[in-house]
Amino acid sequence: MREIGHFIDGASQPGTSGRTGDVYDPSTGQVQARVTLGTAAELDQAVQVAVRAQAAWAQVNPQRRARVMFAFKQILEREMEPLARLLSSEHGKTIADAKGDIQRGLEVIEFACGIPHLQKGEFTEGAGPGIDMYSIRQPLGVVAGITPFNFPAMIPMWMCGVAIACGNAFICKPSEKDPSVPMRLGELFQEAGLPEGIYQVVNGDKVVVDAILEHPDIKAVSFVGSSAVAEYIYAKGATYGKRVQAMGGAKNHAIILPDADLDQVTNDLIGAGYGSAGERCMAISVAVPVTDKVADALVERLKPRVEALRVGPPTDSDVDYGPLVTREHRANVLRWIEQGVAEGAELVVDGRAVSFQGWEGGFYLGGSLFDRVTPDMDSYRTEIFGPVLQIARARDAEEALALPSRHQYGNGTAIYTRDGGAARAYASRVEVGMVGINVPIPVPLAYHSFGGWKRSAFGDTNQHGMEGVRFFTRVKTITARWPEGAGNAEFVIPTMK
């Protein structure tokens, strides 16, 4: 049985806690590895290594830090195929989807290669008589990322790419469900020339999470996961004086106006609703057709497409999506499908009964499609995080706008229309952090930033882009004067008059 420990001080190390978690092959349901669940002492060991290493790394000029990031990018491109297969083997997403996971993380690494420009401060000559004023952005020190199971490559790179380029040391606590890719990233960083101790991995569960939040030498924590945990991390991290960004759950709505191209809408909903088995915080999980006429036409198009979804082993290049990540997660999605039925929603396509010869133990679910879902249903209010698309009908555009705006989550939304004015008004008024116009999954590119509203995000700074640079640095402002001779004492606050 493969044993997964930690990556500390530039090398893999066995765990010492005696506690382990099972890492499954989701396609077969078999345990393929055991991961050590770390201790506060192991986290402290990594922090002490990071403190020593970060002081020297922060003194490396930005251009040389960028060269390490560029070398890392090239190595990742070389290792794309084996890394995607490793990711797929623990998560269950298809090889093509795993490559997309890695590529979106790589794009943040590319962004971080521009750190000499991104970390520049500001300068004002002659701010006062003989006075110059300037600001600089300095690294925080040791920072940490707590990352989810659904993007084991992308989200660690969203965090560590910017953090490390800015001169920090980064400690990753990945999901214990699929920890091997973050471990492998550590080895590839070493090959790229990153000093030992600047990127480390401490595997674990809540014990390590709490140790991160309580450790006095960890200055900032970035998190992506469920809203309940995000709120906990934000509150506890703030209590211990840390800078925290914590991204939570989602219930992303796609609004379909009567003038929309329903063929395009159908294609986009199939991909955005069922890709990666729905295990995406930016998945479209609710379609909102405006008027019953549009809803009926949409259901007529969607039903055969959902029934025809190809589900199977992620190594099969012909499948649309693979298994869910664990048996427990599959069971949870099943409970929410049953809840939707109990609440009176119309189950148009039932994907619960699906199995494949030779793969009966895998964590597979077919696609399910609900119609006539209403806002008072618990299955609507909750993030199901599986291959389930719900249709909530709206009488008019105002009712459609209200659904995502009033929902507890505000991560992403999309609107489908040919009317530019209607799209512009929706994008301006909707109470959601990321909006797509005829785009189903509006995840911003690396040079913009990712973040939702309401219970989808806790904290004031988004992921990656310039928001990431601001999160992982702090501003120091210097006011300088080089007097030619002694002046008189001043007893009032300096002004520019």
- Among candidate residues 113, 166, 172, 281, the one labeled active-site is 281
DSSP state of 443: P
Q: Say how far apart CA 467 and CA 224 lie, in whole Å.
A: 16
Q: Say how far apart CA 185 and CA 147 lie, in whole Å.
A: 14
Helix (H/G/I), strand (E/B), else coil: 2: strand
- E strands, 331-395, in order: 346-349, 368-371, 388-391
**Count of CB atoms situated within 10 Å of the CB of 343:** 15
Q: Say how far apart CA 206 and CA 204 lie, in whole Å.
A: 7
Concatenate the DSSP letters of all residues of 195-252 into one string. PTTSEEE---SHHHHHHHHH-TTEEEEEEES-HHHHHHHHHHHHHTT-EEEEE----E
172 is catalytic: no
Short-list 212, 189, 217, 168, CA closest to 71: 189
Contacts (Cβ under 8 Å, ≥6 apart) of 441: 272, 280, 282, 283, 284, 412, 414
Residues comprising the chain, all counted: 497
Q: Cβ-count burial of 485 within 10 angstroms (0-12 exposed, 13-18 middle, 19+ buried)?
A: exposed
Q: Say how far apart CA 400 and CA 143 lie, in whole Å.
A: 41
CA distance to 49, 289, 405, 409, 451, per residue, from 412 (Å): 39, 17, 11, 9, 9
209 neighbors 228 (Cβ within 8 angstroms): no
Which residues are known to be catalytic?
A: 281
